[in-house]
Amino acid sequence: MSKGNLTISEMREADHQFLLDIWHIPQVMQYADEFPRLRGWSKSDDFHVAWSVYQRKRVKLGKNYTQLILWFDENTPIGESFFAPLNEGYKFGKWEKPDNVISLMGDIKLLPQYWGRGLGSKGIKLVIRFVFTKTSCELFVVPPHRLNPAASRVYDKVGFIPFTGMRSWRNHKIMEMTRKRYNEIYK
């Protein structure tokens, strides 16, 4: 377990360069796809496009649509997490968003030099707390790649339950955490 304090904050304009940097590291992106354009902007967009799309979506969706930055010892950005709401009728292979249940999909990415020290697990716990205390999420889902055991392990360790109705879709699985489960584990 890594010593040092891990915190999260909502993205500010100045954090965009860090996001671009981390998204251009092939090791980080090897198993990380964006489903399907949840963010509405991506690593290929220039800063002004990205920031204005982000602001527009925030106005419409509030904190249910949030880009987070993970900080080590307050001042070193070491990772990011993003989540967004899924529309009614959303399907991910055989997994379907339950009707009328506010469902967010998200993930977490860290700079490779920080992997394997327990920080991914610590970080996603902070994200889970944020999701269930600051948003109206009732179901939080994550889509780890089937060849990415570190991601599945991290999500499993912090309480996500694998959806067993399909093996994978486009090589990704679904793992779920309901608000009820959050209340049981985290409160």
- Residues of the shown chain interacting with ligand COA in the complex, contacts defined by CB under 6 A: 28, 31-32, 107-110, 115-121, 142-144, 148-151, 153-154
| Residue located via tokens 């889509």 | 143
Using the minimum distance from each CB to ligand COA, give the nearer residue, 7 or 55: 7
Compute the least distance from the CB of residue 169 to ligand COA, in Å: 14
User: Nearest-CA neighbor of 119 among 129, 130, 108?
Assistant: 108
Q: How far apart are CA 71 and CA 80, in angstroms?
A: 9
Using the minimum distance from each CB to ligand COA, give the nearer residue, 24 or 56: 24
In the bound state, the residue with its beta carbon closest to ligand COA is: 120
Using the minimum distance from each CB to ligand COA, give the nearer residue, 149 or 162: 149
Compute the least distance from the CB of residue 99 to ligand COA, in Å: 25
Compute the least distance from the CB of residue 153 to ligand COA, in Å: 4
Compute the least distance from the CB of residue 82 to ligand COA, in Å: 10
Compute the least distance from the CB of residue 23 to ligand COA, in Å: 10
Residue 21 in tokens? 């940097």
Can you say whether residue 55 is alpha, beta or left, with left for phi > 0 and alpha for psi between -120 and 50 degrees? alpha
**Beta partners for residue 147, in sequence order:** none
Q: How far apart are CA 187 and CA 71, in angstroms?
A: 24
